[in-house]
Amino acid sequence: MARGRQPAVRRTPALTLAAAALALTGTALADRPVQADTTAKPRGHDVSSYQGKVNWKRARTDGARFVYVKATEGTAYKNPHFKQQYGGAGAAGILRGAYHFARADESSGKAQAAHLVRNGGTWRGDGATLPPALDLEAAYGKTCHGLSRAGMRGWIRSFSNEVRRLTGRRPVLYTSTRWWRTCTGDSAAFARTHPLWLADWRGTPGPLPGGWHARALWQYANKGRLPGDQNLFNGTLTQLRKFARG
């Protein structure tokens, strides 16, 4: 995912959606290692302002079945390409959701959640809209955003509670196992209620963050056939649609 306001290629792994799929859809998703070049699971990607205007018809032809689009960051930034990216994906028949780049060093989780929902991070149970996602990674050189582990856990909880209040869904959490262990103390407090979007670019997904026994999404590369970062959903296309419906 995007690391900041200016277009940039991310160098740190991203978050996981899997446990939430288990908790929110009741569907048991396999946690077997998945090769990055597999075609057995729905393929997707995530984009930000760095990708600019996306050719969604081509992305669909190239295999995209879902996408996460960066909507916001902090409490001021909005992706200037969000309307074309989010709306275009939907028009092409690609399931889409919006994500927020966390700036826990700037303002509260509640305030940033509200900013996301006001600017595209909504959810509808139409089977085409994925729940909002929270991008948790280092921000501008601050690995843990200047917060203690307890402080970070509280910030995530605040963000999550506000997203649920405003949309009816808990957010998907995008993170790497290393970041989660470092910045939350490998907390297991979120695994039962939040889908995991795991960032791991090593070819097969490694250990999961605390509490999660499965991932919903796996970001396995920062470039590939589709625009932006490359992802797989850990289930079938039917399960992906059920996950979208909530």
Q: Is 137 a catalytic residue?
A: yes
The 3 state secondary structure assigned to 194-208 is CCEEEECCCCCCCCC
pLDDT for the residue 10? 37
- Which of 62, 73, 105, 137 is an active site residue? 137
| Whole-number CA gyration radius for the chain | 16
Catalytic hit among 31, 37, 46, 229:
46
Indicate whether 4 belongs to any domain: no
**Residue 67 host element (H or E):** strand 64-73
Question: So what's the pLDDT on residue 9?
Answer: 33
Check residue 232 and give its pLDDT.
Answer: 97
Regions of the chain with pLDDT less than 50: 3-4, 6-38
Q: What is the DSSP letter of 97?
A: E
Please state the domain count of the chain: 1
- Residue 72 sits in which domain range? 18-245
Q: Is residue 3 part of a domain?
A: no
SS3 172: strand
CATH number, domain of 101, equals 3.20.20.80
pLDDT of residue 101: 98
- Residue-level pLDDT at 39: 54
* Alpha-helical regions (H) of 101-146: 109-118
In this prediction the pTM is: 0.86
In a domain, 11, yes or no: no
Answer whether residue 10 is part of any domain.
no
Residue 31 near residue 221 (C-beta atoms within 8 A): no
Would residue 41 count as lying in a domain? yes
> Which pLDDT does position 32 carry in this prediction?
34
**In terms of C-beta distances under 8 Å and separation of at least 24 residues, what long-range contacts does 187-192 make, across chains too?**
187/149, 187/153, 187/211, 189/153, 189/157, 190/156, 190/157, 190/160, 191/19, 192/19, 192/23
In this predicted model, what pLDDT tens digit does every residue of 205-227 receive, in sequence order?
Answer: 889 999 999 999 999 999 999 99
Among candidates 41, 92, 38, 35, which has minimal Cα distance to 69? 92
The reply to whether 200 belongs to the active site is no
Q: Is 186 designated active site?
A: no
